[in-house]
Chains A and B, each alone.
Chain A
């Protein structure tokens, strides 16, 4: 790991001002992607701004039709939150599928979303649940936030403060895990909202998380696995690697979408 200067702000304002005044700064959330990347010297920020002591980035609140989660909430906290389990059980279940118990005790929702790993789970949940990503500067719809592999709408020095998830009538996440890394080979999050169904896929796309309009249209008509008959995602948009080729991933998208719809429908 290259040397860096360490900063430990106690407010979002202080963190933003530190980032503005420091050259080559990175924010540290749970650190479970950034620290391994720094160990490999694939990242070597001159300044590391630790968000771990900022109380205003924590908390889970349910208000009317949405659940809002602070950016520094850990996966284990989301997975075991009574509010999340009651309002959006699919989201709690998704958080429980990230990494292993130790990783879930450190990794955060804000870190996962800001990183936008093409195999991460949260981006699919945000897209399917039509989440709003709130930063210290603005609110961004999930549809506009995720812009391709490891790329988001975040500007330099912009900090995610919380993520607001509208409560769907039914939802589920089906994940085909790489058994070694536990990242999604393919993960499909399906959510039924008052104005239609949203389907988001992670792990599969060559350009990161994406929605499947054909599936959304079919499921908005009939929220059953059979409604997906005959719908295939194009292989040329799929990722291909030693774990799974594009054809297999494209096939898995269909299988996981069915399983997600089945699980969501079973929840009633």
Chain B
């Protein structure tokens, strides 16, 4: 067993894990944060995307022990004060999901896209940047709309915070 200490959604966590434990297994099985999904388990589909030190990664292809001393944010960690994150709200508003399986990964990727590319995202940029996330239901149209709207929503949320 190897000891791993990290911060998950703002909380410090320390645990002894078998070194072969994947970060996604650690999140789901040890911490019971089951919002992060396992789709393909081969780093292709993006259902398991979380933020590791602020960057989107596929948590099925990271060992929990590699995340030692890191800061991890999952889908459970983005809503604030009982209010959906603007990107979550946009996915609901624009019907950016059907079965919902890929949605946590889509939303974590979408927030990462905004962090890297800014709030004014055109369709082409969104489609290109979502290449690591697969959805088998929607045909992507509403997801793309949701990401564009969520990016705007994040900008407005920042403005509101600045005004307060």
**Given A36-B42, A100-B131, A101-B109, also A31-B62 (CB < 8 A):** yes
B: number of interface residues (CB 8 Å): 27
Interchain CB contact (< 8 A) of A102 among B18, B20, B49:
B49
Check B132–A103 contact: CB distance below 8 A. yes
Segment 41-64 of B: residues with Cβ below 8 Å from A? 41-43, 46, 49, 52, 55-58, 61-63
Q: How far is the CA of A31 from the CA of B62 in the complex (A)?
A: 7
Residues from chain B with a CB closer than 8 A to the CB of A6 are 2, 19, 63, 65
- Is B98 interfacial (CB 8 A cutoff)? no
- Is B66 interfacial (CB 8 A cutoff)? yes
Residues from chain B with a CB closer than 8 A to the CB of A76 are 55
Q: How far is the CA of A76 from the CA of B20 in the complex (A)?
A: 26
- Is A67 interfacial (CB 8 A cutoff)? no
Q: How far is the CA of A36 from the CA of B22 in the complex (A)?
A: 11
User: Which of B66, B68, B113, B129 has the most chain A CB atoms inside 10 A of its CB?
Assistant: B66
Residues from chain B with a CB closer than 8 A to the CB of A36 are 42-43, 61
Check B65–A105 contact: CB distance below 8 A. no
Would you give the 0/1 interface string for A14-32, flagging 1 where the beta carbon is closer than 8 Å to chain B? 0000000000000010011
Closest to A179 in B: B131
Check A182–B131 contact: CB distance below 8 A. yes
Check B63–A35 contact: CB distance below 8 A. yes
Residues from chain B with a CB closer than 8 A to the CB of A208 are none
**Given A103-B132, A105-B57, also A39-B65 (CB < 8 A):** no
Check B18–A39 contact: CB distance below 8 A. no
Residues from chain A with a CB closer than 8 A to the CB of B2 are 6
Residues from chain B with a CB closer than 8 A to the CB of A103 are 43, 58, 132
Segment 93-114 of A: residues with Cβ below 8 Å from B? 99-103, 105-106
Would you give the 0/1 interface string for A48-83, flagging 1 where the beta carbon is closer than 8 Å to chain B? 101010000000000000000000000010000000
Q: How far is the CA of A36 from the CA of B43 in the complex (A)?
A: 8
- Is A212 interfacial (CB 8 A cutoff)? no
Q: How far is the CA of A48 from the CA of B57 in the complex (A)?
A: 21
Closest to A99 in B: B132
Chain A min CB distance to B81 (Å): 29
- Is A231 interfacial (CB 8 A cutoff)? no
Residues from chain B with a CB closer than 8 A to the CB of A193 are none
Closest to A2 in B: B20
Check B19–A101 contact: CB distance below 8 A. no
- Is A5 interfacial (CB 8 A cutoff)? yes
**Given A101-B109, A105-B55, A106-B57, also A4-B20 (CB < 8 A):** yes
Would you give the 0/1 interface string for B71-109, flagging 1 where the beta carbon is closer than 8 Å to chain A? 000000000000000000000000000000000000001
Residues from chain A with a CB closer than 8 A to the CB of B109 are 101-102
Residues from chain A with a CB closer than 8 A to the CB of B56 are 101-102, 105
- Is A242 interfacial (CB 8 A cutoff)? no
- Extra 5 A-B pairs, beta carbons < 8 Å, given A35-B63, A100-B46: A8-B65, A31-B66, A101-B56, A101-B113, A106-B58
- Residues on B facing A (Cβ under 8 Å): 2, 18-20, 41-43, 46, 49, 52, 55-58, 61-63, 65-66, 68, 109, 112-113, 116, 129, 131-132
- Residues on A facing B (Cβ under 8 Å): 1-6, 8, 28, 31-32, 35-36, 38-39, 48, 50, 52, 76, 99-103, 105-106, 182
